[in-house]
């Protein structure tokens, strides 16, 4: 079990750039990513093959301008994440027990 994290900085100075950035975000959500922060998304994957598939799909959706990075972490590493919201520590998102297919 692993998580694919996607970090991105996309320009939004023109209408076209803003449209491309919004389409990219919406595509991530359609592909099952969770928004962790505004430009950080994460997706749980059940196998290494699924990680490879997600990275291939991600590459095909990158807008013409900007920077996108992907990082794969194990479920154990994800679970050790320390999340602080308003001076309070929260638990990290949990890997779903069963993957949903649409």
DSSP state of 13: S
Residue 25 maps to a domain: yes
* Reported pTM: 0.81
**What's the pLDDT score for residue 88?**
66
Mean pLDDT by groups of 10 residues along the chain of 102 residues: 95 96 96 95 94 94 95 93 77 63 50
Domain count, the chain: 1
List CB contacts of 95: < 8 A, sequence separation 6 or more.
Answer: 1, 3, 44, 75, 78
CATH for 73: 3.30.70.240
**What's the pLDDT score for residue 66?**
94
Pairing between strand 34-37 and 67-74? Answer: unpaired
**What's the pLDDT score for residue 102?**
47
Residue 60 maps to a domain: yes
């Amino acid at each position: 079990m692993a998580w694919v994290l996607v970090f991105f900085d996309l320009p939004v100075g023109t209408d076209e750039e803003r449209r491309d950035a919004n389409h990219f975000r919406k595509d991530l959500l359609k592909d099952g990513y969770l928004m962790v922060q505004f430009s950080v998304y994460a997706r749980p994957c059940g196998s290494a093959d699924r990680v490879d598939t997600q990275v291939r799909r991600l590459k095909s959706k990158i807008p013409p301008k900007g920077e996108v990075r992907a990082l794969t972490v194990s479920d154990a590493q994800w679970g050790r994440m320390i999340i602080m919201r308003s001076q309070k520590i929260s638990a990290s998102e949990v890997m779903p027990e069963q993957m949903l297919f649409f």
